[in-house]
Amino acid sequence: METKKRILIVEDEKNIVDIIRFNMNREGYDTLEAYDGETGLALARREKPDLILLDVMLPKMIGFDVCRTLRDEGDNVPVIILTAREEEEDKVLGLELGADDYITKPFSMRELIARVRANIRRTAMSAPAAQTERSAGDALTIDSATGQVYKRGVLIDLTQREYELLTFLAGHPDKVFSRVDLMEQVWNYGFVGDDARTVDVTVRRLREKIEDDPGSPTYVLTRRGVGYYYAAHTAAAP
Ligand code: CA
């Protein structure tokens, strides 16, 4: 039997923690709680949760610093930032710091559950995605059976969202997708507000991991004014 996934809730408003815990437990997830940033960081390090729901405004250490610290330590646990509606800029800043997603307060539990499910780290036992390997000898290999990506044989640790973006684009080589398309196909929710920047930030982070020169990419390319695509026939550099 598969062990339960564990979600760390870092939030200083106890009533919000209570309702998130109740709903996550009902969905079959175990939960851990922290009511300040320092405790959240310590629990993340010690307990290795499968996903973190992270408030921004927290006592002792703000959510952004918790996220940045974990990323600096090489921890790629999925992080969903909980932002207040008046803190629109927080969304993009959170993504820049390595968060995988954000949700704006007040949020519906249905929406939160959907985003948790979408972001929880894939396991080696996850169902195979579409076969998207490029030709033999190519530098980038997507092993769809294990959900892992290798660059010249070295495992690249992608977040769930980065992996889904890469496999979606690679599954449709040379087809250009707009940011709106990608929000709907990869993020699975409707396009709102400044979500274009969410796509841009995720593409940039993906490039930093898979491209030799992120400023001059050869895999995930930009079609200016239109969107992004995966280049099927780029010549491998000698
Ligand atoms: Ca707070």
- pLDDT confidence bin for 157, thresholds 50/70/90: confident
Q: How far is the CA of 51 from the centre of ligand 1 (A)?
A: 18
What is the pLDDT at residue 120? 80
- Rounded Cα–Cα distance for residues 49 and 70 (Å): 12
Strand, helix or coil at 112?
helix
- pLDDT confidence bin for 152, thresholds 50/70/90: confident
Answer with the residue of higher pLDDT: 102 or 193: 102
Q: How far is the CA of 9 from the centre of ligand 1 (A)?
A: 12
- Rounded Cα–Cα distance for residues 86 and 70 (Å): 26
Instruction: For residues 196-218, give the mean pLDDT.
Output: 90
What is the pLDDT at residue 189? 61
- Rounded Cα–Cα distance for residues 38 and 62 (Å): 9
Q: How far is the CA of 36 from the centre of ligand 1 (A)?
A: 9
Percent of the chain with pLDDT over 70: 84
Tell me the β-bridge partners of 70. Answer: none
Q: Worst-scoring range by mean pLDDT, 14-28, 76-90, 170-184?
A: 76-90
Residue-wise pLDDT tens digits, 85-132: 666 677 777 777 888 888 888 888 988 998 898 888 554 334 344 344
What is the pLDDT at residue 100? 82
Q: How far is the CA of 160 from the centre of ligand 1 (A)?
A: 26
- Rounded Cα–Cα distance for residues 179 and 201 (Å): 11
Q: How far is the CA of 102 from the centre of ligand 1 (A)?
A: 14
Q: How far is the CA of 99 from the centre of ligand 1 (A)?
A: 17
- Residue 62 above 50 pLDDT? yes
- Single-letter code of the amino acid located at 80: I
Q: How far is the CA of 77 from the centre of ligand 1 (A)?
A: 21
- The average confidence (pLDDT) of the chain is 84
Q: How far is the CA of 13 from the centre of ligand 1 (A)?
A: 6
CA distances in angstroms from 161 to 32, 199, 234, listed in the order given: 23, 10, 24
Residue-wise pLDDT tens digits, 1-44: 568 899 999 999 999 999 999 999 999 999 999 999 999 999 99
Is there a contact between 170 and 144 (Cβ–Cβ < 8 Å)?
no
Tell me the β-bridge partners of 101. Answer: 80
pTM: 0.69
What is the pLDDT at residue 122? 55
Percent of the chain with pLDDT over 90: 46
Is there a contact between 112 and 103 (Cβ–Cβ < 8 Å)?
yes
